[in-house]
Amino acid sequence: MIRIFTDPAEALRRDQAAEARFDEIREAVSAIIADVRERGDTALIEYAKKFDKADLDSVEVPRDEIDGAEEKCPPDLIRIMKKAAAAIRDFHSRQIRQSFVINEKAGVVLGQKITPIEKVGLYVPGGTASYPSSVLMNCVPAKLAGCSEIVMVSPPSAGGTVSPVILAAAKIAGVDRVFRAGGAQAVAALAYGTETVPKVDKIVGPGNAYVAEAKRQVFGRVAIDMIAGPSEILVIADGGSDPAVVAADMLSQAEHDKMASAVLLTDSGELAEAVRDEIERQLSSLPRKEIARASVDNRGRIVILPDIPSCAALANTIAPEHLELFVDDPFAVLDLIRNAGSIFMGRNCPEALGDYLAGPNHTLPTSGTARFSSPLSVDDFIKKTQFTYYTADALAKEADDIAAFARAEGLEAHARSALSRRKKEISEK
């Protein structure tokens, strides 16, 4: 049963004590990465047999299989996925950056050039955690950014296939190539390349602890979106909230993973007890009740605080992935929030809306990293390059100050470099 706290410090200590230790995972992932680097596709095929029980002749999904996937899916689901893709595209199109040029001083041109990342690798979970929504959320912003090639990896079924729903989502989103590979081995293939899997410049997408650790280990060789931890939801709710709805929203994240975190912060002791009872009642009928039970018992908590501003202050300390505001005036509380991945405003905005149809991205910072990082966006798929141009006269006006600054830092070669053009001009006269 989820526990109720009145001391926020105690609640936070309990959360920190529950952090997992991944020494064994790190060692296993390191060995897998080294193996894939050495043996390429052969290693991927062997790992598919070992971990996915799949016999593969090759790792790439044929293009005609991707193109024909929609016919194998329920038509209504295809309609919904296309609707979701349109909403995601509409929201993210407003994030597109433009290059700019500054030409305000005589002889000086400054600017910033926006260039898409060339090759992007998208990891998509398979098996019991098959999320076509993640295909859309990760691929659509990359397409808007202008990335020239987007490749996807996803674990095969025991029959050696990738789910038609995942393939259909890939077709809708604009994925270029798909490979039957999962786990740390798929991340290694994207980072280093194999005979058939192209080496990419950035890897994005969610995965289990092995995938997260693999992304951590290849970072620097390639860019990554983030090190994603288990899913999190934090609800701030006042006494006027419906406990059944609050409980349902908390369980929507608890069913993801036994390490998922569902938290309620409230100024009402009565609501706290009612939500606890509702969680117990609703758990019994959930198909994934074993997972949700472990999550709420071990990682869930309810904290009673004096008022809603106190709830907002504690939420800023926790910096949750998803934050729901069950209050009459959510826009007033919004001004109090500094740290959250995505905020869901009011009593009629479940986190599930953001997972699927609203349009904002559902790839979000976890484990408190919302203190300094942001949701996935078009910005994650571009590079910003600065450029500078000075004429001889413009540089001559600044050369003495550049040299003085350089010498103050003990960098004489810098100073001489700035002054060297002046000597060249004199010699030419």
pLDDT tens digit sequence for 263-315 = 999 999 999 999 999 999 999 999 999 999 999 999 999 999 999 999 999 99
For residues 76 and 185, state if they share a domain: yes
Label residue 162 by pLDDT band (50, 70, 90): very high
pLDDT for 421: 87
Label residue 18 by pLDDT band (50, 70, 90): very low
Q: What CATH number should be reported for the domain holding residue 144?
A: 3.40.50.1980
Domain boundary among 203, 224, 245: 224
The closest alpha carbon to 162, from 182, 148, 143, belongs to 182
Decide if pLDDT at 13 tops 90.
Answer: no
What is the spatial distance between Cα 55 and Cα 194, in angstroms, rounded to a whole number?
Answer: 18
Domain boundary among 173, 205, 224: 224
- Backbone dihedral angles phi then psi of residue 223, each to the nearest 5 degrees: -85, 155
For residues 327 and 410, state if they share a domain: no
Residue 351 lies in a domain: yes
For residues 104 and 217, state if they share a domain: yes
DSSP-assigned states of every residue in 76-138: HHHHHHHHHHHHHHHHHHTT----EEE--STTEEEEEEEEE-SEEEEE---TTS--HHHHHHH
pLDDT for 17: 43
Segment 316-323 shows an average pLDDT of 97
Residue 381 lies in a domain: no
Percentage of residues in the chain having pLDDT higher than 70: 96
For residues 107 and 196, state if they share a domain: yes
Active-site residue (options: 321, 324, 351, 362): 321
For residues 65 and 201, state if they share a domain: yes
For residues 234 and 93, state if they share a domain: no
Q: What is the pLDDT of residues 49-87, one digit of tens each?
A: 999 999 999 999 999 999 999 999 999 999 999 999 999
Q: Residue type at 188? A: A
Label residue 155 by pLDDT band (50, 70, 90): very high
pTM, two decimals, is: 0.92
For residues 63 and 207, state if they share a domain: yes
For residues 233 and 217, state if they share a domain: no
36 sits in the region (left: phi over 0; alpha: psi -120 to 50; else beta) called alpha
* 322 part of the active site: yes
Task: Quote the number of domains for the chain.
Answer: 3
Q: Give, as one character, the DSSP assignment of residue 284.
A: T
The closest alpha carbon to 211, from 154, 273, 141, 269, belongs to 154
What is the spatial distance between Cα 85 and Cα 74, in angstroms, rounded to a whole number?
Answer: 17
For residues 55 and 202, state if they share a domain: yes
Which domain range does residue 288 map to? 3-21+229-372
* 38 part of the active site: no
What is the spatial distance between Cα 111 and Cα 98, in angstroms, rounded to a whole number?
Answer: 11
For residues 297 and 406, state if they share a domain: no
Contact in structure between 376 and 395 (CB atoms under 8 Å): no
For residues 233 and 314, state if they share a domain: yes
Residue 35 lies in a domain: no
Other beta carbons within 10 angstroms of residue 389's beta carbon come to 12
Average pLDDT, rounded, for the chain: 94
Kind of pairing, strands 100-102 and 108-116? antiparallel
Active-site residue (options: 92, 256, 322, 362): 322
Domain boundary among 224, 248, 265: 224
Number of H helices, E strands in the chain: 17, 14
